[in-house]
Amino acid sequence: MNPTNRRIRQIDTLRGFGIFMVVFGHSKTIQPVDITQIYILSFIHDFFWNYNMYVFFFVAGYCLKPERIESFSQYLHFVKKKFIHLMIPYYIFNLIDMVPRALFSNAVNKKRSIPESINDILFSGGVYWFLMALFFIFITYQLYYLLFGKKNYSIYILTALIVGLAVSDSIAGIDFLVINEATYYMLAFHLGTLLYRIGFKFQYNKIKKSLLPIIFVISFVLCILCTFITRNPEYIRYRAFATIIAIIGLVLSITFCENTFVDKVFSRFGPYSLQMYLFNSMCIFVTRNLLPIVFHIYNPVIIFIANFSVAFFIPYFFAKHFFGKYKITKLMVGM
């Protein structure tokens, strides 16, 4: 997710919008002040939460170039590169995160002891499960392409397999090595690779561009309705239904990010979305506790605004102006 010279602007916009949704969701804290009591914030949180990570996995798939891997030695080099880029930050930031969860249990949403956190980091993805899931998706997808990619029917078998895994409720309860998340989000990743393979460049002719607002409105209304359904206490999460909602949300995000104003706002954050993802929870830990404990501010709206503002803009500032200057910081934050 670090800047490169050759980029597709819409991809950066999608990443920027994606990290906006993630930080918004993380800003809705429970301890020490319960922000969930604000209905509109809670509703928007659930609205985004149905599909926000789908955007990131889609983008990751779109940016993958599987045809470049033609030998096992190239594959091993790819695995090594992805391990450095994803798993080193995964272990570093998960280890940092486990300290406040153990020592300040009343100041976090999910408290864990040190042994529980270590077990979670090694086998269940920890707080930064996204990185482990993406790493496993990358290496399994590339391995499949290396072994079977040159066969004409391989893409159809792979598509059927991925769809089957994504909607299978029998896998939903398997937390070991983020199997649940990896199989669910691999479909978004695969959709991204398919669009790249067919030459989709986020460019539209006049007729298609005129349809984008209509598609946006339809997908927006559907996402609103689906959010009401998923917020129902009697709602049972079936992966097939969750997948449909996530795909609708992905369509919503793509059409939304085609707006010129939206593009200008979010494209600047996209290149630093990984670093913002890594640091936003730490920033929120400070603001959520500093305001009520030190400044005696208990208004949930003010705390939410502070959580979001600090967690969104401070990591962006440091990622843009500091982290890329030193080898050690680049290694730590996956640049």
More confident residue, 147 or 208: 147
Distance of alpha carbon 298 from alpha carbon 279, whole angstroms? 24
- Residue 71 clears pLDDT 60, i.e. is over it: yes
Nearest to 240 by CA among 196, 281, 187: 187
- Region 217-239: mean pLDDT is 91
- Residue 46 clears pLDDT 90, i.e. is over it: yes
Cβ contact 311:287 at 8 Å:
yes
More confident residue, 67 or 203: 203
Q: How confident is the model at residue 7, as a pLDDT?
A: 60
Q: How confident is the model at residue 5, as a pLDDT?
A: 35
Q: How confident is the model at residue 24, as a pLDDT?
A: 94
Q: How confident is the model at residue 6, as a pLDDT?
A: 46
Q: How confident is the model at residue 23, as a pLDDT?
A: 95
- Residue 108 clears pLDDT 90, i.e. is over it: no
Distance of alpha carbon 30 from alpha carbon 282, whole angstroms? 15
User: For residue 142, what are the CA distances in angstroms to 27, 76, 125, 172?
Assistant: 35, 10, 21, 24
- Residue 323 clears pLDDT 60, i.e. is over it: yes
Residue 103's pLDDT band (boundaries 50, 70, 90)? confident
CB-CB neighbours of 297 under 10 Å: 14
Q: At what angle are helices 239-256 and 52-63 packed, to 10 degrees?
A: 70
Nearest to 8 by CA among 289, 333, 258: 258
- Region 299-306: mean pLDDT is 92
Distance of alpha carbon 20 from alpha carbon 15, whole angstroms? 8
Distance of alpha carbon 311 from alpha carbon 315, whole angstroms? 6
Please classify residue 151 by burial: count the beta carbons closer than 10 Å to its beta carbon, then call 0-12 exposed, 13-18 middle and 19+ buried: exposed
Q: Looking at residue 84, what DSSP letter applies?
A: I
Residue 66's pLDDT band (boundaries 50, 70, 90)? low
- Region 239-243: mean pLDDT is 91
Nearest to 273 by CA among 83, 2, 36: 2
- Residue 2 clears pLDDT 60, i.e. is over it: no
Q: Which residues contact 184 (CB under 8 A, 6 or more apart)?
A: 165, 166, 171, 172, 239, 242, 243
Segments making up each domain of the chain, as ranges: 9-332
- Region 32-49: mean pLDDT is 90
Determine the distance from the C-alpha atom of residue 295 to the mean position of all C-alpha atoms in its chain, rounded to a whole number: 33
* SS3 at position 112: coil
Residue with the two structure tokens 């680049």: 330
CB-CB neighbours of 177 under 10 Å: 15
More confident residue, 236 or 230: 230
Q: How many CA atoms lie within 13 A of 262 on its CB side?
A: 17
Three-point CA angle 98, 110, 132, nearest 5°: 60
